Amino acid sequence: MKPAPFKYIKASSVAHALSLKAEYGDDGRFLAGGQSLIPALNFRLARPAVLIDINGLAELEACDCLEGGRLRLGALTRYRTLERNGDLLRACPLFADALPHIAHPQIRNRGTVGGNLSHADPASELPAVTVAMRARMRVKSEAGERELDAADFFVGLLTTDLRPDEMLIDVTLPVQKPRSGGCFLEVARRRGDFALAGCAAVITLDDGSRCTDVRLALCGVGETPVDASGAAAALIGEKGSDKLIDAVATDVQRGIAPAGNVHASPDYQRHLAGVLSARALRKALQRVAHAA
């Protein structure tokens, strides 16, 4: 297949890119890594009138520490950069778990953080990780900028809260707190395939080994990444016993409505979500004990 005709413009700066997006709106699409957009173009599932190439905009490639124990990832940060950044993986160990599950090395060599999040595939790993970590998304247009919680950024299947004239500029993430542990797990038919179900968990304990904070997010089982932290809140103030964790997993299963697909029925996806939630929470607890 070949894409439908389009006009190609290489942006010379973020300001230039935003002016082009303001001009063309929904008819213009940003080209970053292209690992999702190019196949969609070739199958004519996407037919933008204009491609705005933002590769080469170094100001969108930031990967640095901010005040207050937070990390900033620019929209053009590529997965390979994250995989090779030992400081980032130590500060946000959940990334160390999740990154190897994202497609294949060739894809991670080109794929970008901003492109992935803006594409908003509910089976993708990174949206669930950002929801679990309470990430903040900074979006910008010619008219100004605003910030959104990750949980509010994803609004539907392949749909975000981005307006027609906006671009995702960067993502900020908290450094993992002391006495915390995280875990990302998923089940896919083959390594690199889209997840049938996945789970990101982060737990923080006090000196008495009681849970003070817990985050749980799922991928592949809804039209957006599913924030299941409400179900996991039953652990707060408690020690993470097997009985409590199993109860959380049951609540997770009750609270989701997977659509199913050609590889997994809704019931099987629901089963996977419960199993992965329990395993991820237990592994996160083990990692807190190991770190201590």
65-171 carries CATH number 3.30.300.30: no
Judge whether residue 252 has pLDDT over 80. Answer: yes
Assigned CATH for 7-53: 3.30.43.10
Beta bridge partners of 71: 65, 173
Judge whether residue 292 has pLDDT over 80. Answer: no
Q: Provide the pLDDT for residue 254.
A: 97
Of the options 3.30.70.890, 3.30.390.50, 1.10.357.10, 3.30.530.20, the CATH number for the domain spanning 180-291: 3.30.390.50
Please report, for residues 26, 33, 162, 272, 288, the alpha-carbon distance to residue 111 in angstroms, rounded to integers and kept in the order given. 22, 5, 20, 27, 31
Q: Retrieve residue 196's tokens.
A: 């049938």
Kindly list the domain boundaries of the chain, sorted by start residue: 7-53, 65-171, 180-291
d(Cα 233, Cα 211) in Å, to the nearest integer? Answer: 9
Please state the pTM of the whole predicted model: 0.96
Q: Provide the pLDDT for residue 57.
A: 96
pLDDT per position as a tens digit, 95-135: 999 999 999 999 999 999 999 999 999 999 999 999 999 99
pLDDT per position as a tens digit, 171-205: 999 999 999 999 999 999 998 888 999 999 999 99
